[in-house]
C-alpha cells in the first residue's frame, strides 16, 4: 500500500489518472500545484486527508481508462499531447465560444454573469493559442531533439533559450494563469450548474465548458508533473550532470 501522505498530488495522479476525479471532488488542484504534498493540498482545500486517501484506495477504474502515462517514452507523451490535447483545444474551443456567444445573446440580460464567462473564455482561447504555438515551435521540437540525442548517444543539441528550464518556467506560469481563470469560471457558473429556467443550449455550453476544463487539467498535469520533469532530467543527463 502506498503512503499517500508522503506523495505529491501530481505524483498520485501520475500513478493513476483516475485519482484526478477524487481530487476534483474535493477541490484539490493537482495540475498547476502538483508539487504540493497531499496533506498540505487537503488542508488548503478544506478536505479531510483520511477521507481523500480512502477514496483513492477505493477507486477502481477499468483498465482501458487507467493509462499509465509514466511508462510512456518522453517523445510519445509529447506526441499524445500534440495530437490529442492541442488538436482538441483548437477544434473544440471555437465551437464552445460560438455556442457561448449565442447563449449570451439570448440569456445575457437575465444572467449577466454569462458575459463575464464569455470574456474569460475568449481570453483563455486567445492565450491558449499563443501557448500552444510556443510549445509546438520552441519547446517540443527541442524535446524531440534531446530524445534523439539520447537514443543516438550524441551530444546535447544547442538551444537558443540556453536551458530547457527557461521555456518550461514560462509554460508553467501560463498554466497557473489558466488554472486560476477556470477556477473563476467555475465559481461564476456555480460549478457549471445551470438555472432551472435554462434552455438546452445553456445547459449544453456549461457541460462543454466543464469538459474543456477537465481536458485542460489533464493536459497541464501531463506536462507539469511528467513531461517537464523528465525533460529537465534528460537535459541534465545529456550534459553529464548528476
If asked whether residues 195 and 94 sit together in one domain, one would say yes
Nearest CA to 138 out of 161, 155, 154 is that of 161
If asked whether residues 125 and 152 sit together in one domain, one would say yes
Collapsing DSSP states into helix, strand and coil, what is residue 37? Answer: strand
If asked whether residues 110 and 175 sit together in one domain, one would say yes
If asked whether residues 98 and 135 sit together in one domain, one would say yes
If asked whether residues 166 and 229 sit together in one domain, one would say yes
Q: Residue 135: how many CB atoms within 10 A of its CB?
A: 21
pLDDT in tens, the chain (242 residues): 678 999 999 888 888 877 888 898 899 988 878 889 999 999 999 999 999 998 888 874 443 346 789 899 999 999 999 999 999 999 999 999 999 999 999 888 888 999 999 999 999 999 999 999 999 999 999 999 999 999 999 988 889 888 999 999 999 999 999 999 999 999 999 999 988 888 888 889 999 999 999 999 999 999 999 999 999 999 999 988 65
Collapsing DSSP states into helix, strand and coil, what is residue 168? Answer: helix
Question: Last residue of a domain, which of 50, 65, 80?
Answer: 65
If asked whether residues 101 and 14 sit together in one domain, one would say no
What is the domain extent for residue 35?
4-65
Check residue 242 and give its pLDDT: 57
DSSP state of 193: P
CATH of the domain at 43: 1.10.3910
If asked whether residues 161 and 94 sit together in one domain, one would say yes
Check residue 198 and give its pLDDT: 80
If asked whether residues 53 and 89 sit together in one domain, one would say no
If asked whether residues 60 and 90 sit together in one domain, one would say no
Nearest CA to 209 out of 232, 190, 222, 231 is that of 190
- Cell numbers found for residue 136: 509546438
Nearest CA to 124 out of 104, 99, 96 is that of 96
Question: Last residue of a domain, which of 41, 65, 89?
Answer: 65
If asked whether residues 82 and 116 sit together in one domain, one would say yes
Check residue 57 and give its pLDDT: 85
| DSSP-assigned letters across all residues of 77-146 | HHHHIIIIIIHHHHHHHHHHHHHHHHHHHHHTTT-THHHHHHHHHHHHHHHHHHHHHHIIIIIHHHHHHH
Check residue 16 and give its pLDDT: 80
If asked whether residues 117 and 218 sit together in one domain, one would say yes
Number of domains in the chain: 2
Check residue 15 and give its pLDDT: 80
Question: Last residue of a domain, which of 65, 87, 117?
Answer: 65
If asked whether residues 39 and 131 sit together in one domain, one would say no
Amino acid at each position: 500500500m502506498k503512503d499517500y501522505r508522503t506523495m505529491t498530488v501530481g505524483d498520485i495522479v501520475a500513478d493513476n489518472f483516475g485519482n484526478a476525479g477524487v481530487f476534483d471532488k474535493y477541490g484539490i488542484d493537482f495540475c498547476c500545484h502538483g508539487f504540493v504534498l497531499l496533506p498540505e493540498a487537503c488542508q488548503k482545500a478544506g478536505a479531510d486527508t483520511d477521507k481523500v486517501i480512502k477514496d483513492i484506495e477505493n477507486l477502481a477504474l477499468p483498465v482501458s481508462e487507467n493509462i499509465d502515462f509514466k511508462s510512456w517514452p518522453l517523445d510519445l507523451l509529447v506526441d499524445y499531447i500534440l495530437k490529442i490535447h492541442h488538436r482538441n483545444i483548437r477544434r473544440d474551443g471555437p465551437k464552445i465560444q460560438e455556442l457561448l456567444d449565442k447563449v449570451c445573446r439570448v440569456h445575457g440580460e437575465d444572467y449577466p454573469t454569462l458575459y463575464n464567462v464569455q470574456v474569460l473564455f475568449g481570453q483563455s482561447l486567445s492565450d491558449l493559442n499563443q501557448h500552444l504555438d510556443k510549445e509546438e515551435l520552441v519547446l517540443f521540437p527541442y524535446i524531440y531533439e534531446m530524445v534523439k540525442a539520447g537514443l543516438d548517444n550524441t551530444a546535447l543539441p544547442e538551444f537558443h533559450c540556453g536551458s530547457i528550464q527557461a521555456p518550461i518556467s514560462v509554460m508553467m506560469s501560463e498554466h497557473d494563469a489558466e488554472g486560476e481563470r477556470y477556477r473563476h469560471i467555475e465559481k461564476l457558473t456555480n460549478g457549471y450548474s445551470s438555472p432551472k429556467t435554462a434552455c438546452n443550449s445553456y445547459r449544453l455550453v456549461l457541460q462543454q465548458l466543464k469538459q474543456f476544463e477537465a481536458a485542460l487539467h489533464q493536459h497541464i498535469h501531463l506536462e507539469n508533473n511528467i513531461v517537464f520533469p523528465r525533460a529537465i532530467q534528460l537535459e541534465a543527463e545529456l550534459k553529464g550532470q548528476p
